[in-house]
Structures are given as C-alpha cells and as structure tokens.
Amino acid sequence: MNRRRMDQRTFHLEELADGVFAAIGRRGTTSHSNAGIIDLGDRSLVIDTFSTPEPATALDAACEERTGRPASFVVITHGHSDHWGGNQAFPNATVIASTLMRAHMMDMVAWVRELQVDPDPLRKEIATSQETLAHTPDMAERTRLEEVIAHYLALLRELPTLKYRLPEVTFDASLTLHGSRRTVELHTVAGHTRSDVFVVLPADGIVFCGDLGFFETQPFMRDCDPARWIAWLEEMEETTYTAFVPGHGPVGTKKDLTREREYLEALVAHVRQVAARGESVESALALRLPPPFAAWQAAESGRFEANVRALYERLAVQKQ
C-alpha cells in the first residue's frame, strides 16, 4: 500500500490508495482528531472536520488540491465536537450524519452559543490547567496539560466566529454513495457513543473508524457501550479489510483493533470485579495496567481515571 506523507500545519495526509487520504491530526491543536478525503470520481467526500474552522479550511483546500474539486459531501462519524466543529468551512457540501447523532450535535450547538455569550468558563478552564501545569513534575502529565492548554487557547481564538453547522441529511442504518470511481458505504453502530458512523471502502479494503478506533492511545469511554464496542471490534477483526483509520492515533491494521479490544476487555473486567465485590471506585482507580497499556496509562492518567469512573458508574447502575 502506498502511503505518501504530505505535511500540513495542523495535520498531515497519508495516501492510503489512489484518491484516498487519511488526515492525521496533530495533538495540542484543534485538529487533534483525524479526518479523511475520498475521491469518488465525479465528486469528493470529506470525513469529519476537526474541532474548528481553521484546520477545516486547510482540509477543504487539501481536498480540492488532491481530488481536483471541493468536497460535495461531509460525513460526520459521531457527535463529539472535535470531529465536526469545522463544518462551516464546507458551505457548499452536504453534511451527512446519523439521525441519533444529529440530536446529540444540537446539544453541542447550545454549548458553544453559551460560550460565545460568556467565554469566562473556557478562560477559567485554561487558567486552572495552567496553574496545574505549574505544579506538576511528572513529564507525561505535563505534556498532556500542555496539549490541553494549546487546544483550549485555539478554541478561544476561533470562538467569536465559530458556527456549529448541523447535518442536512441523516440516516438510521446504512447509506451507500456511488461515484464513478468508487463506492463508499456508511454504517451506524452504538459503541463509542449512542450512534457512531464508520465508513467502508469495500474495493480498497479501507475503513474509516471514527472514534470506534483509538490506536496507540487509551480510548475515550465516557459515553460508550463497552459490550457493543467490543463486538464491533471483533467484527472488524474478522473482515478482509486491511487498513483502518482511527479517530485518534496513526493509521493501523487489525493488530491495532485487537490491541484496542484487549484494553477495553481488561478495563471492563477489572471494574466489573471491583463493583461486584462492593468496593469503591477508588479501589478500581488503584489498578496498574500491564504492558503495553501501562505506557498509555502513564501518558494519560486523566483519561484512565475518566474511563474507570464512567465504567464504574455504568456497572453500578446495571446492578440496581
């Protein structure tokens, strides 16, 4: 597989097949998630639009440069705003998402409008993070905080002109887009959120996972259905597809899907055992993950804590 790397200021492109590109975001920016560009032949498609219009505008330019035309379609993989906050940079494209996802996105529209009226909560979050950074000796945690601060500062800078644009087209199960060059399949599943969309290029053997895929890093599990998420990963492991573009992390293979599944399974099993013994969430937080997940945990201890707390709360509710 030819992967020609092309640098951009806030992301870089990897060519996965002729006319198919993964846009890999740079951590610490408002393009810290991944996106994609697909040449359908007569039209072009973009997958996700980062957090804000600035990197999305660069993505739009990259789409026109690589495919010879601006995007006709924008497909959103899920409702977390770091994947669709840049929608306004594609005014002439049709935005597509799942029906449930659109309802979630409407909540995010209300949130950003509140921040535009009063950005002080965001400023306070930046100040708190900067204060924490000043008293944090751990280098991995310092790196994480620096990335968070850089992201918040970029969001604050673009906030006055940010307009969250909702999808014009929604679907419930599957949708197929036929182009003169290739066919693209859109499928919905509950996993990372109540409604995720993954994008399949059958003839190319490529899957754009959205945040169903987190490679070489801990998944974000606050809104997840872990059983369904694990089932989806198992399903993808059994396919003949060869390249998988995650929502975060580098382009990977089935080995990366397996590693992600093993993390989810290990964490779910651990938290379930703690909850079954009637122990507190603090007991679950005392877990030290084995390699290779130990490095992930050390690099993002805050993510680990958030995952454990979300799982513990979910399992506690299920016990009632």
* Average pLDDT of the chain, as a whole number: 92
What are the two backbone dihedrals, phi and then psi, of residue 77, each rounded to the nearest 5 degrees? Answer: -85, -25
- Residue 120, C-beta contacts closer than 8 angstroms, at least 6 positions apart: none
Give 7's pLDDT tier (boundaries 50, 70, 90): low
Number of residues that this document lists for the chain: 320
Average pLDDT score over residue span 223-245 = 97
pLDDT in tens, 131-153: 999 998 888 788 888 888 988 88
Average pLDDT score over residue span 46-60 = 94
What pLDDT is stored for residue 108 in this prediction? Answer: 83
Give 8's pLDDT tier (boundaries 50, 70, 90): low
Percentage of the chain modeled with pLDDT above 90: 74
Task: Answer positive or negative: Cα dihedral of 109, 110, 112, 113.
Answer: positive
Better pLDDT: 232 or 150: 232
Give 113's pLDDT tier (boundaries 50, 70, 90): confident
Average pLDDT score over residue span 282-293 = 91
Give 44's pLDDT tier (boundaries 50, 70, 90): very high
